[in-house]
Structure 1
Amino acid sequence: MHQEDVIYSVEDYARAESFLPWQMETRVPGEVTEIAWMPGSARYRFKLSTQEGWRYRIAVASASTEHRDAFDHEGLAAALVEATGEKVDPSRLKPTRIDYRGADDLEFDFNDARWRWDGSDLRQFNEEDQFGVRSPDGTKIAFNRDHDLWVREVATGIERRLTRGGKEASFYGAVLPSPLRAAGLPGAGQPWKDTKVLWSPDSSRLLTHRVDTAGAGTITMSLSTPRSGSIRPEAVEYFYPLPGDDPLPTATLVIIDLASGDITPVDIAPLELYYYGSPIPGPDSSSRSMWWRQDGSSLYLLRLFRGDRHATLYEIGADGSSRVIVDEEAETPVDSNLSTSGPVNHRTIDDQDLTLWYSQRDGWGHLYTYRTSTGTLLDQLTSGEWAVADVLHVGEGYAYFTAVGKDVSEDPYLRRLYRVRLDGSSAGPELLTPQDGSHEVSFAPDGGYFISTWSKVDRAPVAELVRSSGESVGVIAEVDLSALTESGWQFPERFSAPSRDGRTRVYGVIVRPTNFDPDKSYPVIDSVYGGPQMNQAPVGLTEAARIWTAQAIAELGFVVVLIDGLGMPYRSKEFRDVSYRNLGDAGLPDHISAMRDLKVRYPNLDLDRVGIFGHSAGGYASTHAILAHPEFYKVCVSGAGNHDHRTDKAWWIERYQGWPVGDHYIEQANRTLAGRLQGKLLLIHGEADENVPVASTLSLADALIAADKDFDLLILPNRSHACGSEPYVIRRRWDYFVRHLAGHEPPSYSIRKS
């Protein structure tokens, strides 16, 4: 039976709201996140959820897992109230980029500013110090001023100009900026006035670049209701390379000797910039595309050439000379991780003259060793039909890494930690995390301990301190789900189903409402991403945000599925390459085949009423679904979609859709399929989207109008790419599915974000 008798109430919406991610932060006490180790120390800090909010805790890796508050939360909150005039809850503090320097001594970002708190005094950094980079010995700060790079002695305040001749179109030590702050909008974490240098370990040299933008393409962000208060619209112009652009902005690398002031050009061609930001990693970055030898005599550079099918690891001497250590090319992209969002898996072990190289050359992600000094291939350390995920630590003669698919008897997406000997003498990878779950691991800098946070979708997360040998010290914290389960909540269900080819298994998660009645029929909503750099279906409750977002929608009388089809990461290279030059596929045929398989198992799934939603790449994929598969998908809510890949950022699109740009770009553009629309479509986009320009959605709207198709359009003034998590957008998404998929009128309701 359908749910014709359902009348949606305010209570239904309130129950749905109670599952939104920010509400769940206090409903699941005991969750450990934001784990960070102090440099050169066995101390670690983390964020611990409580029933009131959360606390930042600190501990020392030892025979105990005892922990304490990392700082005086109440004191810091009071100081922030006094300094900013804003309401600050000590149980819900949200500092970012925390640099914990000691007991009640920390630096952090808050409200787009940098602060230092010593337990009694709160000081806001000036702009040059906020965006500057401190030397490893703490005696100097590099910063940019007037398009040139400067350095300041911390003790004396004496400043010295390191470069000269910088100008607006050719500047030193700075980034291509995101447009958000220029637009007067929040831009935490976005490149703005950041200084970009890489200090040598002994603080005697630094690597930086000169960025040249002459002739590079720009985008104009239009602000209909500018924050300046002007009644006239305003515009912000910024560099935004599109696929196929020529010329691109470039970064020419130089090494500066602090003692002599000598500036030495690096002997490689300038690096092309495909997005705003910089190729030089930040001090807290895990990208590891550039790093110094420990003795500071040279540095390493991993270069991906345009199209990502050619990768080279260079050694760069202090005199600017360069030589190739490893060079790899392929017909499809050469990746340094199973996901382009993951850390670079290459390492150099200088005291052993070894380079650890990650490659999918045999069809799976595995580890190889090379002789650094000669570039000679030595050994393949791992092999088989499974894949290394993240290299987390190299030391004591071992490489420690997480891997997926090693145990053929279990879910191939479960992550476990292993180690192998660097000399190739291991009989096989040694398992260090046998606990029944998928493991997210954080290693101490010296490799003596690690913290594993492990769970499944039907197992509460546990954070555990473990010695590098695999011996457990004890549990740091475990999530308490008792209040949830007592309220009727049930764990999501992890499932596998046949893909489009009938042989390959794809995996997903099904989420049901807390008041689920197996005798009723439920519309199905597909929560999609479709970007090949990440999976959508959670393996464990440590990936909770997507689960809670799905649970909230399910509470309105739907069953929600999250599925990873062919073309998504963390399987074989063949599996992943289905999406190469084929973003329009998005694994959607596998979503359809999986849902049809689920229907056989669960007749209460109503596949005559299937909806889909997604944001960003998911905005593109969800729209493509309703256009390419109108017989299956009936309602779509699409947020911030890159609907025409010719108008999206070059770094992401050229990697997945291929370079040079070809006819397949046009063929897979959603505007090309506009005439196929049959169902209900809501397009949402922030007018100030810095990541996927709003023109992408307006171009699709233009094509839908030309095709005489009815659709709904919501443009959000002054909203960035992150608009999908706004309460107003969430409520509009819910209303659209309730009205057009469930067939009922939603109640008048407002979601409030705490």
Structure 2
Amino acid sequence: MNHLKLSFCVCLFITSLISAQTKNITLEDIWKYGRFRTEYMDALHSMANGKQYSVLNFDLASRSTSVDIYDYETLEKVKTLVSSRDLNDLAYFTNYTFSADEQKVILASNEQAIYRRSSIGEYYVYDVKKQKLTRISEVGIQEPTFSPDGTKVAFAKANNLFVKDLISNTVKQITFDGEKNKIINGISDWVYEEEFGFVRAFDWNADSNKIAFIKFDETEVPEFSMDVYGKQLYPTQQVFKYPKAGEANSKVSLHLYDLKSEALTDIAVNKKYEDFYIARIAWSNDADVFSAQFLNRHQNALDLWMIDTKKMTSNLVLAETDEAYVDVTDNLTFLEDNSFIWTSEQDGFNHIYHYDKKGKLINQVTKGNWEVTDYYGYNEEKDIIYYQSVENGSINRDVYAIKLNGRNKKSLSEKEGTNEAAFSADFSFFINTFSNASTAPEFTLNNSKTGAVIKNIKNNKALTDKLKDYQTSVKEFSTISINGNDLNMWMIKPANFDENKQYPLFMTQYSGPGSQKVANHWNSSNDYWYQYLAQKGIVVVCIDGRGTGFKGAKFKKVTQNELGKYEVEDQIAAAKELGNLPYINKNKIGIWGWSFGGFISSNCLFKGHDVFSMAVAVAPVTSWRFYDSIYTERYMTTPQENPSGYDDNSPINHVKDLKGDFLLIHGSADDNVHVQNTMRLAEALIQADKPFDWAIYPDKNHGIYGGNTRLHLFKKMSTFIEDKLLTNNE
């Protein structure tokens, strides 16, 4: 029988007495004035000496940016390395990248976003000793990257690769077949960028004389077009290659450019499958050997190849398979002897492994029924690996040190909540970022041997003090037993909560594979929105159901081939259980979500029409047939192979069951989840004669922001929620 566990772990949202809180949070506070913005440390880089770090700073008075160097032990600024105030040709810069010897810095300016991670911009090399600034290219370029010796910069322009020699100030083009919507050299295509999480698809070897890169042949990939309405008399169109589930992907291939011989060579490996992805490339410490990670199209087989560019041979050193899928990470780390660190879910939980250079397992470094959530690096001198995990409960994060042989594990964090580490280059210090539901982010300098705090760097006391003036509520963490699983949950009740009254319930979730929304960390912007709704008299709840992350592979991968089935079952069952609480009005239960969360909220209202009275769906997937190949097929295989998995859980096919109130929202320029999803769902609702509310935000992408957009969006949703849940709340 489903039941609520009564042992709540309660985290006070703030520590002052509720009676001292007088102000109400407004939507303008959140989305217009940004009154609750959190301070962070921007673009922190640990210097090679291990004793100093650099930070990108912005001077409001002079409207200038600078790269400033600080001492770890004293936290005092040592010097300003470069400031835009001293640069005649560069009024400001927005990011920086050091060469390996830290004698040169690439400064980025006028970066214009292309998609989620990619951008094109103006880039300059600043020579620290000569205090000289040189523009890399007179036109916009992508991903400028120093060679390890700092004498060259490789970059992409107009789908081709180039190398600039910083000594002779000459530029050499190394590929010539790049063409928009056809051939891309060294830069990932749309779907790789979005789903494999990288843009730069080229890499320098250790001797700075070879570049390995991936070529994407998009010729056969179907095109997607979006109208851009703009402000002119006629709209324009954005046309780009987008492989939907089951459609043709880019044909990818490996290539090598030798700077000495100027030879461009095709690299082939003896693959077991024809339709494949190259998810990662990286050179080993051997300047002649680089690695490539190949995935079959189903993504349930990952092969790690080592390619010897001197002998022109390739060896398969690791082959990992899974009944569902194998995750791709950035954790591959080559040690001095070219043995390597690897992370994997092969024992049912994500853990760290050590292999020799031929792929023979030396040992499993971490073990247990918990997940490693981040790999920070390996200290060769001390023979210690540093990592983050959920050993202290799946909603928390702690930092640990462990010997490479898996012994002498030590926790380096003390406070319960979310701890994240940024280690110095020599691993002698780390800057710990800590927060929990009641503590705004705190930045401390810690000793990496003991974890002890050496000094406090920065906190958000000003924000905490400001929040004392506002009426806020307790955020209660607990679990709820649903469908045989104890699911993580948080609940926010109105500040003046009266257990003898009944309140509407509003559920928030994302529910996507491996995701987490119930986590013990400081507020996002939406948390303040949930406080706003609680002020209006609504109980807000978030539950991570089956398919979400950090509770083992079995829990996460149960949704394989049926996205939207178990996730929706859990939200419906949880709503029913919560509706039985004496202080919840079971006739006034709503749910919302964005993207995958919008897919779930739509299905919850349609399939759970006897439980949910309203739902909001923002930028939802409404049929997985419309979404991209890499993400969708990872969890669903292709629609040709699994048509029922695609159609049985598609909101479009369940509109006949709509009984409650539905608000559907999308941006017309969403390159990720296309507005096609909402248009097709709207048409299905119309043909089924089902009333619904909706809004299209012109020329807005998947994030639906810019100018007054976010405020307008949340006003619209808030008005809808209040009208449907608070009216006639009896």
> What amino acid maps onto 1:361 in structure 2?
Q
- Name the CA distance, whole Å, in 1 between partners of 2:88 and 2:108: 16
Q: Tell me whether 1:149 sits opposite 2:161 in the alignment.
A: yes
- Specify the alignment match of 1:20 in structure 2: 30
> What amino acid maps onto 1:198 in structure 2?
D
> Which residues of structure 1 form unaligned runs of 5+?
1-11, 84-92, 180-187, 281-288, 337-342, 746-754
Residue of structure 2 aligned with 1:369, choices 347, 354, 370: 354
Q: Deviations over 1:23-55 (max 9, x none)?
A: 55x546655465443466543345899999999
Q: Tell me whether 1:294 sits opposite 2:285 in the alignment.
A: yes
- Specify the alignment match of 1:721 in structure 2: 702
Structure 1 residues 262-271 or 133-142, which shifts more? Answer: 262-271
- Specify the alignment match of 2:405 in structure 1: 423
- Specify the alignment match of 2:233 in structure 1: 230
- Name the CA distance, whole Å, in 1 between partners of 2:643 and 2:558: 17
Q: Deviations over 1:726-753 (max 9, x none)?
A: 22211111111122222289xxxxxxxx
- Name the CA distance, whole Å, in 2 between partners of 1:627 and 1:167: 45
Q: Tell me whether 1:640 sits opposite 2:619 in the alignment.
A: yes
Q: Tell me whether 1:65 sits opposite 2:85 in the alignment.
A: no
> What amino acid maps onto 2:355 in structure 1?
Y
- Name the CA distance, whole Å, in 2 between partners of 1:57 and 1:413: 35
Q: Contact 2:575–2:611 at 8 Å: present in 1 too?
A: no
Structure 1 residues 490-499 or 590-599, which shifts more? Answer: 590-599
Gap change, CA 1:108 and 1:216, over 3 Å in 2 = same
Other structure's SS at 2:524 match: helix
Q: Contact 1:507–1:564 at 8 Å: present in 2 too?
A: yes
- Name the CA distance, whole Å, in 1 between partners of 2:614 and 2:60: 37
Residue of structure 1 aligned with 2:429, choices 449, 460, 463: 449
Residue of structure 2 aligned with 1:135, choices 144, 147, 150: 147
Q: Contact 2:257–2:265 at 8 Å: present in 1 too?
A: yes
Deviation at 1:106?
6.9
Deviation at 1:430?
2.1
- Specify the alignment match of 1:505 in structure 2: 486
- Specify the alignment match of 2:97 in structure 1: 99
Q: Tell me whether 1:710 sits opposite 2:718 in the alignment.
A: no
Structure 1 residues 29-38 or 42-51, which shifts more? Answer: 42-51
Deviation at 1:308?
1.6
Deviation at 1:178?
5.4
Q: Contact 2:25–2:531 at 8 Å: present in 1 too?
A: no
Structure 1 residues 471-480 or 101-110, which shifts more? Answer: 101-110
Q: Contact 1:457–1:494 at 8 Å: present in 2 too?
A: no
How is 1:371-390 mapped onto 2 (pairs within 5 angstroms)? 371-373=356-358, 375-390=359-374
Q: Deviations over 1:205-235 (max 9, x none)?
A: 1012332123221212123x245x133x432
Q: Contact 1:219–1:240 at 8 Å: present in 2 too?
A: yes
How many residue pairs get aligned? The number is 680
Gap change, CA 1:680 and 1:76, over 3 Å in 2 = farther
How is 1:336-355 mapped onto 2 (pairs within 5 angstroms)? 336=328, 343-351=329-337, 353-355=338-340
Deviation at 1:466?
1.6
Task: Give the % identical residues.
Answer: 23
Residue of structure 2 aligned with 1:325, choices 317, 333, 342: 317
> What amino acid maps onto 1:622 in structure 2?
S
- Name the CA distance, whole Å, in 1 between partners of 2:160 and 2:58: 44
Gap change, CA 1:70 and 1:221, over 3 Å in 2 = farther
Provide TM-score, normalisation by structure 2.
0.83
Gap change, CA 1:230 and 1:483, over 3 Å in 2 = same
Q: Contact 1:460–1:479 at 8 Å: present in 2 too?
A: yes
Structure 1 residues 515-524 or 249-258, which shifts more? Answer: 515-524
- Name the CA distance, whole Å, in 2 between partners of 1:562 and 1:57: 40
- Specify the alignment match of 2:415 in structure 1: 435
- Name the CA distance, whole Å, in 2 between partners of 1:737 and 1:459: 29
- Specify the alignment match of 1:86 in structure 2: none
Gap change, CA 1:60 and 1:189, over 3 Å in 2 = farther
Deviation at 1:498?
1.2
Deviation at 1:570?
0.6
Other structure's SS at 1:433 match: coil
Deviation at 1:261?
0.7
- Name the CA distance, whole Å, in 1 between partners of 2:557 and 2:544: 14
Other structure's SS at 1:65 match: coil
- Name the CA distance, whole Å, in 2 between partners of 1:386 and 1:555: 37
Residue of structure 1 aligned with 2:609, choices 614, 630, 637: 630
Q: Tell me whether 1:400 sits opposite 2:386 in the alignment.
A: yes
- Specify the alignment match of 1:682 in structure 2: 663
How is 1:481-630 mapped onto 2 (pairs within 5 angstroms)? 481-501=464-484, 504-513=485-494, 520-541=501-522, 544-585=524-565, 587-595=567-575, 603-630=582-609
How is 1:21-420 mapped onto 2 (pairs within 5 angstroms)? 23-24=33-34, 26-27=35-36, 31-32=40-41, 35-38=44-47, 42-45=51-54, 58=68, 60=70, 62-66=72-76, 96-99=94-97, 107-110=107-110, 112=112, 113-114=121-122, 126-129=138-141, 131-144=143-156, 147-167=159-179, 171=183, 173-175=185-187, 196-223=201-228, 225-227=229-231, 229-231=232-234, 233-245=235-247, 247-268=248-269, 289-319=280-310, 320-336=312-328, 343-351=329-337, 353-373=338-358, 375-395=359-379, 396-404=382-390, 406-407=391-392, 411-420=393-402
Deviation at 1:673?
0.7
- Name the CA distance, whole Å, in 1 between partners of 2:154 and 2:673: 32
Gap change, CA 1:100 and 1:379, over 3 Å in 2 = closer
Provide TM-score, normalisation by structure 1.
0.80
Deviation at 1:597?
5.1
- Name the CA distance, whole Å, in 1 between partners of 2:53 and 2:654: 52
Gap change, CA 1:121 and 1:153, over 3 Å in 2 = closer
Q: Contact 1:43–1:59 at 8 Å: present in 2 too?
A: yes
- Name the CA distance, whole Å, in 2 between partners of 1:69 and 1:491: 44
Deviation at 1:641?
0.7
Structure 1 residues 65-74 or 169-178, which shifts more? Answer: 65-74
Q: Contact 1:525–1:561 at 8 Å: present in 2 too?
A: yes
Gap change, CA 1:607 and 1:57, over 3 Å in 2 = farther
> What amino acid maps onto 2:349 in structure 1?
W
Other structure's SS at 2:440 match: strand
- Name the CA distance, whole Å, in 2 between partners of 1:122 and 1:155: 11
Gap change, CA 1:31 and 1:204, over 3 Å in 2 = closer
How is 1:737-748 mapped onto 2 (pairs within 5 angstroms)? 737-743=721-727
> Which residues of structure 2 form unaligned runs of 5+?
1-21, 113-120
Deviation at 1:254?
0.7
Q: Contact 2:395–2:518 at 8 Å: present in 1 too?
A: no
Other structure's SS at 1:612 match: strand
Q: Contact 1:177–1:238 at 8 Å: present in 2 too?
A: no
